[in-house]
Structure 1
C-alpha cells in the first residue's frame, strides 16, 4: 500500500498497523481518502473552488459505471478493494463533514457537530461496521483541535468534544486505540497534538499493550 503510506502521517500509519491483517488494506485506503479530503480543505483559498473539488468526489462515489475519476490512483484502488464501496454512504458523509470547514471561522457549535458527525462518524463507520459514531465524532474534534489555526474554533472543538463523553469502545483494535487517544486528552480539556510526539507514541504503545 505505497499510496497510503505516502499520503498518511505517522499516527495514521500506526493505527493502520494495529488493524487486523484482513482489514489493513481497506483501512489504509479509507485513511488515505480522509487525507485527500483534508488536503482539499487545507489547500483551498476560495470556498467555492473547494466545494467543487469535494463535489468531484461526491460524483465519483455515486458513479455506478465506475468511469468518473478513473485513472486517479486512489479512486482506482478504492474501487478495486472488495467490499469497500459498501461504505459509500459513510464516505459521502465524510465529504459533508469536511465541507463544513470551508465556512467562515470561527465555527459555532452546530457547525462543529455537523463536521464531527460527518467526518468522524462516517470514517469510523466505514472502518468498522460496529464502531460507535460518537467515538468517531469525538476523535474528529480532537484531531481538529490540534490542527486548525483559529484559536476560538480549536478551543470550542474541545468543549464540544467533551459532550460526546463517555463513548463506547467498540470495533477493532485500531478504532479503539484512536478513540482512547482522543478520550485521554478531551477528558482533561486538552487539545489534540499537532504532530506525532514521543509522548504520544509512548501513550499509544501503552494503550496497545495494556488496553488503557
Structure 2
C-alpha cells in the first residue's frame, strides 16, 4: 500500500523473475503520484506536476527518456513488456480526482477505476495474464489505500466498505500462478481494510500470503 509496506515487496517477489523489475517499477510510478498528492497543498500546483508527468510519460512512445531515473527505468523495463507510455500517462487521471477535496461517490468510483483498475490491468499485462478479477482487485486496492488517507470517520467507513466489497469478490476462486503477486497485493489490501487491522507485516499476514503463493487461494 505504501512504499514502506514490506508486504508489497513480498508480493512482488511472487511474480515470475523476468517480470519483477517491471512490476516493481509500475508501483514505484504509483508511489510517485501518491507523493505528489501528499506534498502538494495547492490543487493547481498538483495539477501542474501531474501534467508534467503525463506529458513526459506519453513522450516515451516517441523518444528515449531524459535523465530522470524513474522514466529511464520505465523505458527499460515496462515498455518492453508491451505497456505504452500513453497507457502509463493515463494513470495520472486517477490522481487528478483527489485534487478536488469534495469527494462524492461518483468521484470515489472514478478514482478506483482510473487509478486502481488501470494500474492492476497494466500489471496484468506485464505478467502476461488476463483475468476479470484483476481490475476488480485493483479498484479494491485503491479504495483500501484511500481509506488510509485523511478522511472524516464516516467517509473512511464508507470507502472501506466499498473496498471490502470489491476485494472479497476479487479473492473468490483460485488465482493463476503468474498472477499471484497481484493476488497477494489484494490480500494485503484486505488486511488494511479490516475494521481492526493488525500490525503491518505480522506473522499471520506473512503466513497468509505464503499460503496464497502456494495454492492461489
How much has 1:199 moved relative to structure 2? 4.1
Is contact 1:16–1:174 with CA below 8 Å preserved after alignment?
Answer: yes
User: Structure 1 residue 32 and structure 2 residue 28: aligned?
Assistant: yes
TM-score (norm 2): 0.79
Kindly provide the CA deviation profile for residues 160-188 of structure 1, in whole angstroms up to 9, marking residues without a partner as x: 224535226466110122223435665xx
Alignment of 1:83 onto 2:88: no
Which 5+ residue runs of structure 2 have no aligned equivalent? none
The structure whose RCO (Cα within 8 Å, separation 6+) is larger is: 2
The answer for the alignment partner of 1:200 in structure 2 is 205
- Say if 1:84 and 1:100 are closer, same or farther in 2 by CA, change over 3 A: farther
* Alignment partner of 1:128 is 2:128: no
Contact 1:143 1:193 in 2 (8 A): no
Residues 152-211 of structure 1, C-alpha deviations (whole Å, 9 max, x = no match): 33222122224535226466110122223435665xx63777954444333323333443
Task: Say if 1:17 and 1:24, in contact at 8 Å, map to a contact too.
Answer: yes
Task: In structure 1, list runs of 5 or more residues that go unmatched.
Answer: 1-6
1:95, 1:182 → 2: CA distance? Answer: 21
Q: Conserved in 1, the CA contact under 8 Å of 2:112 and 2:143?
A: yes
Equivalent residues, number: 201
Does the residue aligned with 2:100 lie in a helix, a strand or coil? coil
Q: Give the TM-score normalised by structure 1.
A: 0.81
RMSD over aligned CA atoms reads 2.7
Q: Does 1:166 align with 2:169?
A: yes
The CA distance in 2 between the partners of 1:51 and 1:195, in whole Å, is 32
Which of 114-123 and 92-101 deviates more? 92-101
